[in-house]
Amino acid sequence: MTNPRPPQGRTDSAKNRDLETDRERSDGERLTTNQGVRVSHTDDSLKAGERGPTLMEDFHLREKLMHFDHERIPERVVHARGSGAHGVFRSYQDHSELTRAAFLRDPAAETPVFVRFSTVVGFRGSADTVRDVRGFAVKFYTSEGVYDLVGNNIPIFFIQDGIKFPDLVHSIKPEPHHEMPQASAAHDTFWDFISLTPESMHMILWALSDRAVPRSYAEMEGFGVHTFRFVNESGLARFVKLHLKPMKAMTALVWDEAQKIAGKDPDFNRRDLWNAIERGDFPEYELGVQVVEEADEMAFDFDLLDPTKIIPEELAPVRPLGRLTLNRNPDNFFAETEQAAFHPGHVVPGIDFTNDPLLQARLFSYLDTQITRLGGPNFAEIPINRPTCPVHNNQRDGFMRQAINVGRTAYSPNSLGRGCPMLTPSGMGGYAHFMERVDGRKIRERSASFQDHYSQAALFFRSLSEPERRRLIDAGRFELGKVRSMEVRTRMIGHFAHIDLGLARAVAAAVGVEPPRSAPPPPSAPKGVRFSARDLRRSDALSFDGEANRRKRTARGARIAALIAEGFSADDLEALRKAAEREGAEVVTVAATQSPLKSGSGGEATADESFLTTSSVVFDAVFVPGGGAAAKSLAADSDALRFVNEAFRHFKSVGAADEGVDVLHRTSIRGVRVADPGAGALADAGVVTSRAGARGDLLDVFFEAVTQRRHWDRPPHGATPA
């Protein structure tokens, strides 16, 4: 049995990689049947005469069709659309004090990982850029067995108890009578359910925020969501919340852009992940934990077992544990990404559960679902799911069993097999569950400590910057605007009023609901708590415009479109490319066609893309080099003008050198200043121009603008058609 391949170094480009693989394959490989018999002809079936019927004895035809007829498996009931990558995890130091998990104790050890990112609602072929939660599931192949961290990019969930999960999912999936809409929450049944489920309000605000439209999986956080336990060698347990923080700053798409990308490049996030790994710009994250002592279980003004609550970082900082690096693309999507089976119950010694009722239900569901999806109980034997350490137990047989177990004894205790496989005492590495004391009556009830549904939603809203709040309100207007039932809209506005009156009024005004005049008073803080989230003014980590995220912004990985036409300035383009290379950004030339064209200095160039094959929505910035003739034709080309208008409207950096500035004059960009003839670099709201060529300060200022990614300080875009 082969275990997951160890990570390998970078290859130069996706193209080279495919060629290499094809070359390897062509090295003497012969077409055979599944039984290994060499095939001499595969284009015509065996017939009785040239125009006669096909013969049953054509074993090659029968096998080929039989296999094809059965090559689909059921997609995941949720998180069907996903993309995977291999990588490694390395602990920063020995964290024995916190946990006995070996992979967190040895900074010299590299633990292989497989990560799968996903959207939740859409079918397997749906678009990447829909408004949705993103799954962030990590499989650590540790020396002590597989540990799965099956998390999301939002630190909380819609419901507090797993028994409501089928209801939640039925409400958000396409409506059952006509199976519409695809991959979208913007329809009546979802908001009907939500408006009757106040516990979902905190999650709803996150789902309406930028978090639900990530620009890149490399620029997104991951969270374990539930409170788990870390247990150290001496049996000391602590509560932990797991975090994965990207090394890059978090970024998002704007909604108009996200919807357009869903049509122009539905694989946008998948492609971004694949390309980043191929070019060696490995996505990296820091695994960290917030730690709460067992004695402090009741010291907060929310319940640690309630999965609709965060622990604000101001109350418990995130302690960095180690670095996760994604450095190898899968070889085969189906074999690896599709067949990966994650399960929050896959834990290793040192990691344990709590009584969070959502987590407890998950511990059943994931094992159960794989039986339908992967065809039986032996899915742990599929290469992507196999531990890297040995597996010995008395589980036997079943559909698709791969292991050939030897010997007579498949039971324990036994003496005929010399007691094997033997047990490992907990002191020697065997798993032992934390001995939590449990005492209670059997009841179907929710704890009173789970009842505050609005305070943390309010904390989230007030932690956002003004532009973030505007976008959240717009998302609320969009989603509720798609809901036909006025009753549902009105109920939702009622909930929003509990969170923030301004939010409720702004959404109400757009969806025909009477804006509420006053807000219900916020719940008073429970007495005697030591750590209060309700009393926090704001929490920096919740906002993309927060201090911590702003510090991480760079231009690395940014994709810049350079618009060119016959007569463009090759010097400007070259200078742009050099500067981009220094910053780790990528320049893609775009022209009216992909036929060769001449630069101003007579050199020949062919654009990477044309206005037909690409669109400004898949770029982070646009730049127009100088060159009189080029500027003239671009200024007369409505596709070029739309390209720039759209980038402007989506708050992206727009740069232009020399005559390139004339192109900007022909666009609908208004309300920002551009450089005068003969003047050096001028930046206004992310529009960076110079009439002194694409050199020196222009490019410095342009890349400074690209580093900021979006420029929310732009004048209202009402006049910019795109």
Positions touching ligand HDE (CB under 6 A) are: 76-79, 82, 116, 118, 135, 137, 150-152, 157, 162, 165, 225, 340, 342, 358, 361-362, 365-366, 369
Q: Which is nearer to ligand HDE, 541 or 618 (CB)?
A: 541
Q: Which is nearer to ligand HDE, 124 or 401 (CB)?
A: 124
**What is the end-to-end Cα distance of the chain in Å, rounded?**
55
CB of 365 to ligand HDE, least distance (A): 4
Q: Which is nearer to ligand HDE, 166 or 671 (CB)?
A: 166
CB of 498 to ligand HDE, least distance (A): 23
Q: Which is nearer to ligand HDE, 100 or 116 (CB)?
A: 116
Q: Which is nearer to ligand HDE, 373 or 401 (CB)?
A: 373
716 near 647, Cβ under 8 Å? no
Q: Read off the amino acid at residue 597.
A: L
CB of 585 to ligand HDE, least distance (A): 30
Single out the residue of 440, 486, 473, 7 nearest to residue 255, CA to CA.
Answer: 473
Q: Read off the amino acid at residue 642.
A: R
Q: Which is nearer to ligand HDE, 81 or 710 (CB)?
A: 81
For residue 344 the two structure tokens come to 């929050």
CB burial string 411-424: b at 16+ within 10 A, e below: eeeeeebeeeeeee
Q: Is the peptide bond before 181 cis (omega within 30 degrees of 0)?
A: yes
CB of 548 to ligand HDE, least distance (A): 22
Between CA 529 and CA 296 the distance in angstroms is 10
Q: Which is nearer to ligand HDE, 232 or 365 (CB)?
A: 365
* Helix spans in 93-248 (H): 165-172, 188-195, 201-208
DSSP string, 203-221: HHHHHHSGGGSBS-GGG--
Determine which helix (DSSP H) or strand (DSSP E) holds 70, and give its type and residue range.
none
Q: Which residues are catalytic?
A: 79, 152
Between CA 717 and CA 668 the distance in angstroms is 9
Q: Which is nearer to ligand HDE, 304 or 585 (CB)?
A: 304
659 near 596, Cβ under 8 Å? no
CB of 281 to ligand HDE, least distance (A): 23
Dihedral in degrees, nearest 10, Cα atoms 185, 190, 195, 196: -150
Between CA 672 and CA 686 the distance in angstroms is 9
CA distances from 8 to 58, 232, 286, 327 (A): 43, 33, 21, 7
CB of 404 to ligand HDE, least distance (A): 27
CB of 670 to ligand HDE, least distance (A): 44
Nearest-10 crossing angle of helices 466-481, 486-499: 160
Q: Which is nearer to ligand HDE, 87 or 151 (CB)?
A: 151
CB of 173 to ligand HDE, least distance (A): 12
CA distances from 230 to 97, 403, 612 (A): 10, 33, 54
CA 325 to chain centre: 15
208 near 506, Cβ under 8 Å? no
Between CA 310 and CA 307 the distance in angstroms is 8
CA 60 to chain centre: 42
CB of 382 to ligand HDE, least distance (A): 13
| Residues forming a β-bridge with 91 | 322
Single out the residue of 319, 359, 287 nearest to residue 98, CA to CA.
Answer: 319
| Residues forming a β-bridge with 39 | none
